[in-house]
Amino acid sequence: MTTRPTMIEFQDVHKYYGDYHALRGINATIKAGEFFSLLGPSGCGKTTLLRTIAGFEDISSGAVMIDGKHMEHVPANQRPTNMVFQSYAIFPHLTVEQNVGFGLRREAGTTEEKARRVEEALEMVNLKGYGRRAAHALSGGQRQRVALARALILKPKVLLLDEPLSALDKKMREQMQVELIKLQRQVGITFVLVTHDQEEALVMSDRIAVMFEGEILQLAEPEVLYRRPNSRQVAEFIGVMNFLPAFVLGEAGDTVQLEVAGLGRVDIEAAQSTGRATDGTVSVGFRPETLTILYDGQKAMDRETPGTIEEVVYYGDMTYYDVRLDGVEKVVRISMRNVFGRPVLEYGSRTRVAWSAGALVLFR
């Protein structure tokens, strides 16, 4: 990604609701034209942070800058942002057309010009011909499109989306994810999306801020978040991660020497030691797909460890195996792509597991 100018900047933003500390020192920058996500569990302050951008929430201290301008005394109706609400907030007494054109009331331009812009906006969200419908007679997916068109018609610098897909069923959601990505590329506007769905965030975002209890724990590209989570919380929130207790034997230059339960002596690179553990324990983590079950006659490319299959979960294209490595209490999860001609193994059978030191992440 080329270097883009900064669009939004949070400078040590704090927010209190009475005694409750909802935002605890947010520092982050969102770049122009970026698809940015705020990801985190319920109640972590995602919506609150989004609303400080929109201007619906006053901050207790710190600063929010949009496009280089301090937003402290700029009310919501004068900010260069528009919002797609979680409930969509479609005006029920107006038609689709009137909803989409609502923001144009205060814009200069002739009636014909405005009608044309409404028409264009509807076309952009694939709702051509729905203009005269009553807004309350729309399906969930259609309401969402109306909300999008209504927010985008003003060509804001930033589009804010608060869990826009959470009310849709799975199929519709996946379809809208793709449409949203396309739409964002097409209009080139900075999108800030709030979601508690890690998959959605990974699929859609250029960068993701993972929030926990009013703080940003990690802000990075999806791939970095997935491969190099900086804490056990982030690792557990995004995808599945296996953890095994470990002991640091020594460090030499770029190498960290470890003794890992079940895996034995391992040398990893210092760059893999990104994680921080809040509770003082040391452990290594690895994703289920970085392990491979070895069939008879197969040889590991790097290292292998024997174990027993404790559980088999068959998903059609994938099979999850829970394997107890010899000498460890905990089972580790391994995901294997099912290949034609290769049988699914039964639980209880002995097996060998191939792994590689490069896929480990150290948390300490």
Ligand X SMILES: Nc1ncnc2c1ncn2[C@@H]1O[C@H](COP(=O)(O)OP(=O)(O)OP(=O)(O)O)[C@@H](O)[C@H]1O
User: Site residues (CB under 6 A) for ligand X?
Assistant: 17, 20, 22, 40, 42-48, 196
* Number of shown-chain residues binding another protein (CB under 8 A): 26
Q: Give min distance, CB of 20 to ligand X, in A.
A: 6
Binders of another protein among residues 272 to 301 (CB under 8 A) are none
Q: In what order do the strands lie in the sheet with 292-294?
A: 292-294, 350-355, 303-314, 318-325, 331-337
Q: Which of 10, 27, 28, 12 is nearest to 64 (CA)?
A: 10
> Residue 262's binding partner, choosing from ligand X, another protein, Mg ion, none, with beta-carbon cut-off 5 to 8 A by kind?
none
Taking the least distance from each CB to ligand X, the nearer of 23 and 361 is: 23
Is the CB of residue 268 less than 8 Å from the CB of residue 357? Answer: yes
Most distant CA pair in the chain, distance: 77
Taking the least distance from each CB to ligand X, the nearer of 33 and 40 is: 40
Q: Give min distance, CB of 76 to another protein, in A.
A: 5
Cα 125 from Cα 148, distance rounded (Å): 7
Q: Which of 362, 361, 287 is nearest to 320 (CA)?
A: 287
Cα 33 from Cα 251, distance rounded (Å): 42
> Residue 320's binding partner, choosing from ligand X, another protein, Mg ion, none, with beta-carbon cut-off 5 to 8 A by kind?
none
Site membership for another protein, residue 56 (CB under 8 A): yes
Q: Give min distance, CB of 38 to another protein, in A.
A: 18
Site membership for another protein, residue 103 (CB under 8 A): yes
Binders of another protein among residues 123 to 142 (CB under 8 A) are 134-137
Pairing of strands 81-84, 69-70: unpaired
Taking only Cα atoms into account, the Rg of the chain, rounded to an integer number of angstroms, comes to: 25
Select the residue interacting with another protein from 73, 106, 171, 299 (CB under 8 A).
106
- DSSP, res 256: E
DSSP, collapsed to helix, strand or coil, labels residue 130 as coil
> Residue 102's binding partner, choosing from ligand X, Mg ion, another protein, none, with beta-carbon cut-off 5 to 8 A by kind?
another protein
Q: Which of 351, 239, 247, 253 is nearest to 293 (CA)?
A: 351
DSSP, collapsed to helix, strand or coil, labels residue 336 as strand
Which position's Cβ is nearest ligand X? 47
Q: Which residues contact 206 (CB under 8 A, 6 or more apart)?
A: 1, 34, 35, 36, 221
Binders of another protein among residues 79 to 98 (CB under 8 A) are 81-83, 85-87, 89, 91-93
Window of 8-16, 72-80, 261-269, 296-304 that interacts with another protein by CB under 8 A: 72-80
Binders of another protein among residues 222 to 261 (CB under 8 A) are none
Select the residue interacting with another protein from 65, 154, 181, 277 (CB under 8 A).
154
Window of 43-51, 142-150, 319-327, 334-342 that interacts with Mg ion by CB under 5 A: 43-51
Site membership for Mg ion, residue 47 (CB under 5 A): yes
Q: Which of 319, 308, 305, 309 is nearest to 354 (CA)?
A: 305
Select the residue interacting with another protein from 32, 76, 277, 336 (CB under 8 A).
76
> Residue 240's binding partner, choosing from another protein, ligand X, Mg ion, none, with beta-carbon cut-off 5 to 8 A by kind?
none
Is the CB of residue 304 less than 8 Å from the CB of residue 332? Answer: no
- Inter-helix orientation angle 140-152/111-124, to 10°: 130
Q: Which residues bind Mg ion (CB under 5 A)?
A: 47
